[in-house]
A and B are shown apart, each in its own frame.
Chain A
Amino acid sequence: MSGTLVGRVSATIATVVAATTLVACGGGSGAGDGKVKLSIGIFSDFGYDNLIKEYQAQHPGIEVEQRKVKMEQHHTQLATQLAGGRGAADIVAIEEGNVALFRQSKDKFVNLADYGAKELKSQWAAWKWNQGTTDDGNFVLGLGTDMGSLALCYRRDLFQAAGLPVERDAVGELWPTWQDFLATGDKFTAATPNVKFVDTAQNVYKAILDQTEEGYFAKADDSFIADSNAKVADAFKLAASLGEKKQTSALAPFSQDWNVALKQASFATTTCPAWALALIKAGAGDEAAGKWDVAAAPGGGGNWGGSFLAVPKQGKHPKEAYELAKWLTAPEQQKRIFKETGNLPSEPAAYKDAEVTSTVNDYFNKAPVGQIFGNSAENLKPTYRGTKDSKVTPVFNNALQRVETGKQSTSDAWDQAVREARDAAK
């Protein structure tokens, strides 16, 4: 009797231990049907749904699973998975603002050059290719997906109510520079004081910074220069002045409230990289179809966003993962993604293609988005992203928000931001 009880108890312990080990080992096990299972970790809309179906049809031995989470969460998760040595998808997307940070941990990623990625170099705009590589181009961390050349979206009906021009060319001519943009804002606010001129100071600030060659960190040695780079200070002051004048809606960009404000038409303009069109359409809804339009951004071209597909070393099928990433980022596929989601190709062969340049966006009053963004891509000079860019950026965004909500003066907010940024960049 006693023997069986002890036996039962130890059996229980054994079961518990076995169960916990099983849990620990769960996931990542090979497929039973002999298929190679690939997972791809992305955020927001990469437009891969149909492409993946097609790829699976062409490659019967491969099964692809998409894992979508929110952008910030995606990168945090990826960092933990790399640190823990397990759990990362076979292919992971890394956003432009974060790529410098992950370049530092290149030992956790497969060098795609080992599989011949260097031969693909000529496909991309040179700067896009360089962002995804390190070690003088010998280590290929990721293959470029889309890019985010800049435009300015505005609401036609609100501009009309304020007595401003409505047609996109005339609107673009209102603001060759950001100073002109501010002046337009003053006119707009004087005529229709109940509508905010622009969504948030943060987005204006980001757009101006994206038109400069250097931001928070020096191109030469990655050193912290936010406190001495006059361009950062000027961009901050210009954006903050919109907040001080209460011409912004003071909402966090792309948040739930931002969507509500879009729906309620409570702001008239927003800076819009190519990928933002889908967000505006989703937020403003069908009833605003034809009311939004796309004009040239003040200050010329700039790049905001765009991602890379990388292959973490911990995956079991690096070769198959590379093949899929290569296919997904090829010009032919980039063109199709543009048609589907509006994400702008990062490859000249794709964004100069007649199919792309002739594309109009019905929702945005038939704006010739292919031309607008394609042109902007041609003139684009990318900003240097420091390794710690993603750590410093939120500090300045918070500072602008403090100005917008009237909690701090521009100069106090700036001082605090620089102090905090210095800490974050340590």
Chain B
Amino acid sequence: MGWWDTKYTPYLAIAPFFVVFGIFGLYPLLYTAWVSLHDWQLIEGSQGFVGLANFRALFVDPNFWNALGNTVSLFVLSTVPQLVAALGLAALLDRGLRGRAVWRAGVLLPNVISVAAVALVFAQLFGRDFGIVNGVLGVFGVDPVDWRAETWASHLAISSMVVWRWTGYNALIYLAAMQSVPKDMYESALLDGASRWRVFWSITVPSIRPTILFTVIVSTIGGMQLFVEPQLFDPGGTATGTGGADRQFQTLVMYLYEKGFRLFDAGYSSAIAWVLFMLILLVALLNFTLTRRIASKG
């Protein structure tokens, strides 16, 4: 019995996760794949097997490529500044500040506010006629920007929402990692006359490499699945779900939503879901290799 115990108990102990994942993760994933091979109407269900027709249609669909482009643009615009800012913020929080706990808890605040509330506030900030951002720009003589109509402006506005929400969260993760970097390494570097900047790049960043890797991958997944912020930024809301009158900020998940839940084309929507899944795997893998290489050079 003792042998059986040591050999199998650990598997049993981690099994609950995999059982739950199987039910709520794997099964829907496979079911989605099954649906994507059919002409499937949302309410009425399958209208017949069509093989890869949904995928073939998807790859020549200009709206799909537009959504992909928007997603990548929003992902880069939000993830890069977010992680860089988080790294800097964590380095500052890592110093002996007065009232440390308050500052540290404070950076997490944007993250605990409901995303719907955030979107509501930002929608007002970026209002065309009466928005505060345009008001401030006006002081400097800049013409009002139609934040929803212009592609670049809408991307900036939405990214600012994402950056605002997630920077503090990532900063806390970095901070936790920085705390475990041995202090004597810093001391000896400073004794050798290294600048703070140099210490940061040569000691801090390489030491928290696995953590950076983790945040990059998590943000990749989050960035590729961006949905709520742009959806709520769209004044047409779910009525159109097109991300602006010209699809200027429609992300892949928004397109999936439009096809599946507004046009009731569940088969096509499932095909988008699967392509998105593959894309995320691919980008995460790419990021993994890139980040590892960059970080190991430092």
Contacts and interface: CB of A to CB of B under 8 A. Distances in A.
B130 interface: yes
A168 B42 CA distance: 47
B235 A255 contact: yes
Contacts of B16: 12-13, 16
A70 B240 CA distance: 13
A83 B1 contact: no
A76 B236 contact: no
Query: Which of A73, A257, A397 is packed against the most chain B CB atoms within 10 Å?
Result: A257
Given A252-B236, A261-B129, A402 B45 contact: no
A260 interface: yes
B245 A405 contact: yes
Contacts of A76: 238, 261-262
Chain B contact residues (Cβ within 8 angstroms of A): what range?
35 or more
A405 B146 contact: yes
Contacts of B242: 394, 398
A325 interface: no
B43 A105 contact: yes
A403 to B, nearest CB: 9
B246 A83 contact: no
B15 interface: yes
Contacts of B240: 394, 397-398
Contact of B4 (A2, A249, A255, A391): A2
A79 B264 contact: yes
Contacts of B120: 256
Interface string B246-264: 1000000000000001111
Interface in B160-197: none
A256 B116 CA distance: 14
B249 to A, nearest CB: 13
Contacts of B113: none
Contacts of A405: 146, 149, 245
A390 B285 CA distance: 41
B9 A3 contact: no
Contacts of B246: 398, 402, 407-408
B73 interface: no
Contact of A83 (B9, B45, B130): B45
B238 A72 contact: yes
A260 B13 contact: no
A398 B236 contact: yes
B261 A80 contact: yes
Contacts of B215: none
Given A256-B124, A257-B235, A402 B1 contact: no
Interface string B7-34: 0010011011001100110000000000
A10 interface: yes
B143 interface: no
Interface of B: 1-2, 4-5, 9, 12-13, 15-16, 19-20, 23-24, 42-45, 120, 123-124, 127-130, 146, 149, 235-242, 245-246, 261-264, 266
Given A256-B123, A257-B235, 11 more contacts: A2-B2, A5-B9, A16-B19, A76-B238, A83-B45, A255-B236, A261-B129, A397-B236, A398-B242, A405-B146, A424-B263
- Which 9 pairs from chain A and chain B are nearest by CB? A252-B235, A401-B245, A2-B5, A405-B149, A398-B245, A255-B235, A394-B240, A72-B238, A72-B239
